[in-house]
Every structure is written in C-alpha cells, then in structure tokens.
Amino acid sequence: NGKKSTEAYIFGGADNETIAQFVTVKDRRTGEQYTVTDDGVIINEKLASLLGGIKKGDTITLALADTKRLRQR
C-alpha cells in the first residue's frame, strides 16, 4: 500500500519559548529558525526519510499510545 511507519517520541503543547529551552528548531543548512504553530508539526530529516521521504506540506498520521490518532500537515 506504500505506507511507511516508525516509532518516535513526540512532545508538544508548549509555546516556542518553552520548546527553545530544550531543542533548537532551525534548518541545519541555512540556519533559518522555524516557528512551531498550532496547526502542524516539525520533524527532523531522519524521521522524514524513515517515513518515505515526506516533504513540507505532506500529511502524516500520528498514532498516540492511548490509541488516539492525529492527522497533521
């Protein structure tokens, strides 16, 4: 069916300033800072590759441990 899956740890629910205390969210080549919004997710290059080379604007489905599913772009 062409679908890829992998396991990963995710975190969210925090504002950009709180997230910035723990991780740097920027393009590794250009240094461009990314802003986390309420309507999407940021994933790293390795996870994008593991999921079949997904790109900006693609939709992924997150299956949470408590069996809830979230579709994100």
Regarding predicted confidence, which is higher, 69 or 62? 62
Domain edges within the chain: 1-73
Cα 6 to Cα 2, 3, 60, 63, distances in angstroms: 14, 10, 11, 10
Mean pLDDT of 40-68: 83
1 CA to centre of own chain: 23
Radius of gyration of the chain (CA): 13
pLDDT band at 30 (very low <50, low <70, confident <90, very high): very high
pLDDT band at 70 (very low <50, low <70, confident <90, very high): low
